[in-house]
Amino acid sequence: MRNFTNVHDIGDLRTAVAEALEVKANRFGYKNLGENKTLLMLFFNSSLRTRLSTQKAAMNLGMNVMVLDVNQGAWKLETERGVIMDGDKPEHLLEAIPVMGCYCDVIGVRSFARFESKADDYEEKIINQFIRYSGRPVFSMEAATRHPLQSFADLITIEEYKTVERPKVVMTWAPHPKALPQAVPNSFAEWMNAAGYDFVITHPHGYELAPEFVGNAKVEYDQDKALEGADFVYAKNWSAYMDPNYGKVISTDRSWTVTAEKMALTNNAYFMHCLPVRRNMIVSDDVIEGPRSLVIPEAANREISAQVVLKRILEGLQ
């Protein structure tokens, strides 16, 4: 594997999950792979899980790790070509990227959708520049349209907990006060479709995701109906994708909050969320704290998904 930005980069999902479970049982078994190799983790946005789990995964593999928060202590970066740089950004990404590439062997990038240009976001302008100009393997730690390390961890978690071959997985929109990117729901949809589960997406009208991510999923606008018989409920907020509301909050309807009453409609489903989560907006306290909540095992599997991706990238450098 050279770069990792979407489900296609990981190849066959059964093989990837099998490798993940093997790594999970033997996470220090590949310590030599990363010897004298340096990972640079670059954050344009905040993180708790991605930062810690990816760093831990790299350490499990024997790598050295450098972390740079671009907005805290680094020069502010201009990302547009052709701009007269007479403002507050003293360095251009087009010099910064190859310079960063000189100091490391692998680069992880977190760069969320900016909601300034839908085209720029959906062309993945930032992470693609790292792939093009760094000279190093690059993996996404959540980009504008996808969060593949999260989705891979979600897939591992579902495979660990499912009791039928093809579970019903329902991704439900839930309210949130701020405008959040579509990266997590897009990515989750992409991976669930690839896994071949019985996959349903439910959201209010106006929150339709990009068709290339919805794929063959069933879209059901009645949340109660969607939840019937679900084995897994994956809650997430996202802002509108459809024009003219791209990147906007168009509803905060709390009747979409995942409560015990909503979970009672399911097949005793497990509850999932990528975290961080706004309690009693997205999900009620009792559901997230309940025995069917998988939010902690899901977060724990972030270390495993990151380790498989780094392992494969390192194997490609041998």
> Which residues sit in the known binding site for carbamoyl phosphate?
47-50, 75, 110, 147-150, 274-275, 302
Residue least distant from ligand CP (Cβ): 50
Identify which of residues 5 and 50 has a Cβ nearer to ligand CP in the complex.
50
Q: Which is nearer to ligand CP, 276 or 316 (CB)?
A: 276
Collect all residues with Cβ–Cβ distance below 8 Å to 192 and sequence separation of at least 6.
Answer: 155, 169, 171, 199, 217
Least Å distance, CB 97 to ligand CP, is 22
Q: How far is the CB of 150 from ligand CP (least distance, A)?
A: 5
Binding residues for N(2)-succinyl-L-ornithine: 142, 176, 236, 278
Q: How far is the CB of 193 from ligand CP (least distance, A)?
A: 20
Give the shortest CB-283-to-ligand CP separation in angstroms.
15
Q: Which residue's CB is nearer to ligand CP, number 66 or number 275?
A: 275
Sorted by sequence, the CB contacts under 8 Å of residue 90 that are 6+ apart come out as: 75, 76
Q: For residue 309, what are its two tokens?
A: 């991706």
Give the integer Cα–Cα distance in Å for 302 and 49: 7
Smallest gap from residue 80 Cβ to ligand CP (A)? 26
Residue closer to ligand CP by CB (options 33, 288) is: 288
Q: What are phi and psi of 20, to 5 degrees?
A: -65, -45
* Burial class of residue 91, CB neighbours in 10 A (0-12, 13-18, 19+): middle
Cα pseudo-dihedral 222, 162, 312, 182, rounded to 10: 10
The residues of the shown chain that bind ligand CP, judged by CB under 6 A, are 47-50, 142, 150, 274-276
User: Which CB, 206 or 276, lies closer to ligand CP?
Assistant: 276
